[in-house]
Amino acid sequence: MSRSEKKASRLLQIEALLLAHPEGLTQADIARKLQVHRATIGRYIPDLGQVLPNVYIDDTDGNKWKIDRERYLVRVQFNLYEALAVHLSARLLATRMDKQNPHAAAALRKLGISLEELYPQISSHVRQAADIVDDASRTQDPRFIQVLEKLALAWAERRKVHVWHRHEKTNTVNKYLFAPYFIEPYAVGQTIHAIGKRDDIDAFRTFKIERIERIEDVKPAIYYDIPETFNPRQLLSEAWGIWYTEEPPQKVVLRFSKSVAYRVIETKWHGSQRIEQLPDGRIHWQADIAEPQEMLPWMRG
């Protein structure tokens, strides 16, 4: 391996390390992890700006090297069927979220451009979805975008944040120290929720992002680890949508008439559902649901 190739390989190793450590690493940390002398790492500093423009040295946090995750660009390639999946996701995003979202629109336009040469038909529709997402007729809520941005960055860097959340029933605003573990869209209410740990009770809570009045970084930063045992799929497995509980799920039993039975059968509405077809064409549907109240709009529909 030539000297230039070795340097390029080392810089990629540094990039991978920094991506794995959002809290940042000192020059000594990097040298130790790569099993080289600290002076060797020091020689790469002049090349960082050219090869890794999103790496910076944070002199407010012990001269740690960090990745600027707001500007870091990932590289993705799609085959035809993956491109179709992107198109379907774009359509869901465009039709199930009611707020203007410039970041989503920018991402979809980049995807559209990258797909244009090989899949022009799909590219065209992805870019149309982008136009829908940032259409001027959509609800414009700068606070929502700011909260979403700060939550996303805190989640990516595993940093706690202060949030001021408005309670749905009392209409009071309370301040919490919050560690975001997951961000989940909710198609029924056209909303987005943040699931994480509240420090004051050391328990999971879900905050509807539209109800977060204010969000601020914690200074100095407080980092946290998401345990390997945390599994959002498992956490929400008994929820109809976003509502989960530590209590045992409740059995919900519904009976559908013959005229709509086919519509119910052709979709799996919940992971625990069980369907029994009755002799007269009706169906007996049941499932174990964490919070049945969340099902009411579906039942009424």
Average pLDDT over the chain, rounded to an integer:
82
**Percentage helix, strand, coil for the chain under 3-state DSSP, each rounded to 5:** 40, 25, 35
Closest CA relative to residue 62, chosen from 37, 95, 27, 88: 27
- In three-state secondary structure terms, 164 is strand
30 CB burial (10 A radius; 0-12, 13-18, 19+): buried
pTM of the predicted model as reported, rounded to 2 decimal places: 0.64
- Dihedral in degrees, nearest 10, Cα atoms 291, 292, 295, 299: 180
pLDDT per residue as tens digits for the range 214-239: 999 999 999 999 988 888 777 666 67
Task: Write the DSSP string, 49-95.
Answer: HHH-TTEEEETTTTSEEEE-TTT--------HHHHHHHHHHHHHHHH
Lowest mean pLDDT among 3-17, 112-126, 262-276: 3-17
- In three-state secondary structure terms, 221 is coil
pLDDT per residue as tens digits for the range 133-157: 888 887 788 898 899 899 999 998 8
Residues in the chain: 301
Question: Who contacts 21 (Cβ-Cβ below 8 Å, separation ≥6)?
Answer: 29
Q: Does residue 179 surpass a pLDDT of 70?
A: yes
Q: Which amino acid is at 196?
A: G
275: Cα separation from own chain's centroid:
33
